[in-house]
Structure 1
Amino acid sequence: MTPQAPVYERAADDAWLTAVYYRFHAWSGRRPFWAGLFTLLGGIPIVYFPYADMRLGNVTIAMATTTGSGSLIIGVLLVTLGLTLWFQQGVRVFAGVAAILLALVSLPVSNLGGFFVGFIFAMVGGALALSWAPGIPADEEAGAAGAAGRAQAPRIGPQGVPAPYGTETEYATETTAHADGGRNSAG
């Protein structure tokens, strides 16, 4: 061993950490993980700020308002929607729309949506939930592509240019050129 190229020996404890990482990656890949995380994180500041107080020496500054119960309801619902996105992917459209509506309602109800932090997180989480679509597993994708590929495989012409299908003509005739907006040879 030289000081220029140190050799790091892998500990036996790293194997379980790697297994946990790959399991988590596989789990989060089958669901709208980031949508749930952003929605869940959006509910935390909405709940926190109306009930938080800050102490500066002997002076206590509190943001307690009459809308504390509304903030609590909105924040708890956003956290619940975030967890729902993780564990019940089938309701992702409902959860996304509900998260966006709750984020919009949090602006006037709970201190400008948790001083815009919770509002932005909830809006992004709702948008991600609406845009997420479940993927097709690789083995099903290969089977579906094989069945569809046999039915209508593209023909390859010269120099790798796709050739027309059986229903298309290879060269435009005078009739098809005129029907497609081409020049009429008679006129």
Structure 2
Amino acid sequence: MTTDPPPEPTGAPTPDSAPHRARRAFRRWRRTRPFWAAVWTGAGGFVVFFLPMAPLGKILQVGVGGIAGMAGGVVLMAMALLILLLPGQRHTAGVIAVIAGVASFPLSNLGGLFVGMFLSVLGGSMAFAWLPEKPLGRRGGLLRRTGPAAETPVPPVSVGSGSV
């Protein structure tokens, strides 16, 4: 009996290949910032920005409303970039994104036909609520004391009116 060598996999990235390393690096970078909040805010800004440029038959309001909608979309996309690139400023950018998303309702074709408003409010609130991941050594519950101080019993305390 002879055994043939196993066939080599084709097209599957090996753990040491360049695409696999790039994907792991992107994943590490993505997890250090409110990535999905920026994606939703940017998508909402995109909808609010480009809806006023739709054909005239599909726009509900033409004129200054179209300019205000485009300005709101630019602000939302700028907040998405700020959320993504400066995660320390996520609270300010998240609040501004929510305000701009709600303001797009009267200023821009019902907030991008509600889709842009919903996405920008969702992304802004996600950015405001995002917390960075805690380091592995600090996870857990309460700190436990060790040594002689941990072994001494605590005397009971009476709770009462204060009179003897």
Give the TM bin, normalised by the shorter chain. 0.7 to 0.9
SS of 1:46's equivalent in the other structure is helix
Contact between 2:90 and 2:127, CA under 8 Å: does it hold in 1?
yes
Contact between 1:70 and 1:109, CA under 8 Å: does it hold in 2?
yes
How far the C-alpha of 1:10 sits from its partner, in A, is 4.5
Where does residue 4 of structure 2 map in the other structure?
none
How far the C-alpha of 1:136 sits from its partner, in A, is 2.1
Matched, 1:89 2:87: yes
- Whole-angstrom distance in 1 between the partners of 2:132 and 2:35: 11
SS of 2:145's equivalent in the other structure is helix
* Cα distance change of structure 1 residues 146 and 100 upon mapping to structure 2, 3 Å threshold: closer
TM-align CA RMSD: 3.1
Matched, 1:74 2:72: yes
Structure of greater relative contact order (alpha carbons < 8 Å, 6+ residues apart): 2
Cα deviation per residue 1:105-164 (whole Å; 9 max; x = unaligned)? 00000001000010010010011011011122224x26xx69933379xx8xxxxxxxxx
Whose strand proportion is higher, 1 or 2? 1
Where does structure 1 lack aligned partners over 5 or more consecutive residues?
1-6, 54-59, 156-164, 180-187
- Structure with max Cα Rg: 1
| Identity between Structure 1 and Structure 2 (%) | 29
Matched, 1:119 2:121: no
SS of 1:148's equivalent in the other structure is coil
- Whole-angstrom distance in 2 between the partners of 1:8 and 1:149: 52
Contact between 1:50 and 1:111, CA under 8 Å: does it hold in 2?
yes
- Whole-angstrom distance in 2 between the partners of 1:49 and 1:42: 11
Q: Stretches of 4+ moved more than 3 A in 1? A: 10-14, 145-148, 165-169
* Cα distance change of structure 1 residues 69 and 167 upon mapping to structure 2, 3 Å threshold: farther
Aligned residues: 148
Contact between 1:39 and 1:82, CA under 8 Å: does it hold in 2?
yes
Where does residue 36 of structure 1 map in the other structure?
38
TM-score under structure 2 normalisation?
0.77
- Whole-angstrom distance in 1 between the partners of 2:28 and 2:103: 35
Instruction: In structure 2, give the amino acid aligned to 1:105.
Output: A
How far the C-alpha of 1:18 sits from its partner, in A, is 1.5
Where does structure 2 lack aligned partners over 5 or more consecutive residues?
1-6
TM-score under structure 1 normalisation?
0.68
Cα deviation per residue 1:5-27 (whole Å; 9 max; x = unaligned)? xx771447552221121111101
* Cα distance change of structure 1 residues 151 and 102 upon mapping to structure 2, 3 Å threshold: farther
- Whole-angstrom distance in 1 between the partners of 2:92 and 2:19: 35
SS of 1:9's equivalent in the other structure is coil
Instruction: In structure 2, give the amino acid aligned to 1:38.
Output: W
Matched, 1:98 2:100: no
